[in-house]
Copies of this chain bind each other. A is one copy, B any other.
Amino acid sequence: MQPTIRPAEQFDVRRGNLSVALRRLREAGPRSRARLAEETGLTKATVSVLVADLVQRGLLREVGPPENRGSGRPAVDYELHDRVYGIGAEVSVDYLSVTVLDLRGEVRARKRVGYDVPRAEREATLDALSQLVRETTSEVPGRPAGLTLAAPGNVNPGTGRVDYAPLIGWYDAPVAAPLADRLVDQLGDAALRVEVENDVKLAAIAEHALGAAAGTADLAYLSGEMGVGAGVIAAGRLVRGTRGHAGEIGHLPLNPAPAPCACGRTGCWETMVGLGALLSLAADPDDPVHDPQRDLEERLAVIVQRARAGDRRTLSTLEQVATGLGLGASVLINMMNPAVLVLGGYFAVLGDYLLDGVRREIADRVVAADADGCRVELSRLGFDAAALGGAYAALDRVFTDPTVVPI
């Protein structure tokens, strides 16, 4: 059993009970007040008050028509309303994207546009992103519960700032407040709930909530893009660290060769398995796979084609990257002991050519036998995982405290 070593907080019982009722409906589906009372240990009278409150906030609605379950009055079932949604937005290196997820966990809208973030002014990027949020949500009936922005780099959710994101050139940059200002007319009081979080952490949340290994209490996620990062869920909770910077795995000194890294150090793990390392190994500088103007998924498709055709340089590159990936993955597994390791970003796209090598390396390097029971899986959420996780996190603030949505 996990000892609760966190000091208890003084808590608002009613708020807690609203959350219990709402989450029960998320997990278990539509049900009557009587059944909710049974399952939560709350009295029927309390549950009636809670359900009425949640209906007034627009978070629940009656399921109609009621089934007649016995000889008495038919029991009315309640379900989560689909008219409340969370917004996830992502600033990546070369695109902006927005995903809208409703309270029931259905994706209602999704948009992505190419955008050269490192070359644009940050203010212009936030303008473009706000515009994309407007366009995407305009198709979705209902009202927003909040927005979470995913950014690539060190993010401090407590301050709403991006601390250090060299890939897009944002340093110590206020982000949550300026974005909320731009969207206040659109989001209403939900603008108070604009937050910013690291993209890999949000992708890990998406995997934990909605991915192939959803519900796994101890889950690690490794994202391969230009940078490499880890997101860890331990006992069902995202590991953030004191400033929100946990998971900085890309610059661990794991490369036996002193390859120079963009961070100024040498031998960082990113120099073995980052997208730049893969492309340099796989193709000469004038090869079209290096062209940053082309969509990344297209460029990766070229690599896959070459691998399928048996191209030796491509296959040897993938083998080398797989070994490097297994090396870092084993560090993550030794440190965190996850039940599942999900590979995302380009690792997932090229996964069929990487998995064997990764698993071999892990079997060698993880101290406990049998890779300590860790399964390695490929993400199926694609490059939109971070925005999806952002939308989920925005909704989760409602599930944690339903009173953030006013009556």
Contacts and interface: CB of A to CB of B under 8 A. Distances in A.
A38 to B, nearest CB: 9
A237 B396 contact: no
A19 interface: yes
Interface string A185-221: 0000000000000000000010011000001011000
Given A20-B8, A236-B6, A247 B335 contact: yes
Given A248-B367, A367-B263, A5 B235 contact: no
A240 interface: yes
B335 A2 contact: no
A370 to B, nearest CB: 10
A29 interface: no
Nearest to A42: B13
A230 interface: yes
A184 to B, nearest CB: 20
Which among A230, A233, A365 has the highest number of chain B CB atoms within 10 Å?
A365
A234 B41 CA distance: 30
A217 B242 contact: yes
Contacts of A13: 41-42
B1 A397 contact: yes
Contacts of A337: 240-246, 248
Given A8-B23, A244-B337, A399-B4, A163 B239 contact: no
A367 B236 CA distance: 27
A2 B235 CA distance: 13
B241 A338 contact: yes
Interface stretch (A50-58, A129-137, A249-257): A249-257
Interface in A1-15: 1-8, 10-13
Given A7-B236, A11-B41, A246 B368 contact: no
B40 A10 contact: yes
A78 B297 CA distance: 65
A372 interface: yes
Interface residues of A, number: 79
Contacts of A24: 8, 10
A27 B4 CA distance: 14
Contacts of A254: 253
A283 interface: no
A115 interface: no
A217 to B, nearest CB: 7
A93 interface: no
B163 A240 contact: no
Contact of A246 (B12, B234, B241, B252): B234
A331 interface: yes
A63 to B, nearest CB: 21
Contacts of A243: 337, 368, 372-373
A69 to B, nearest CB: 21
A67 to B, nearest CB: 23
A272 interface: no
Given A6-B217, A246-B337, 5 more contacts: A1-B400, A5-B205, A10-B41, A234-B240, A241-B338
Q: Can you list the 5 inter-chain pairs with the closest CB atoms, starting with the nearest?
A: A241-B337, A6-B236, A242-B339, A3-B396, A8-B23
7 contacts: A3-B393, A5-B396, A164-B368, A239-B239, A241-B337, A242-B373, A243-B373
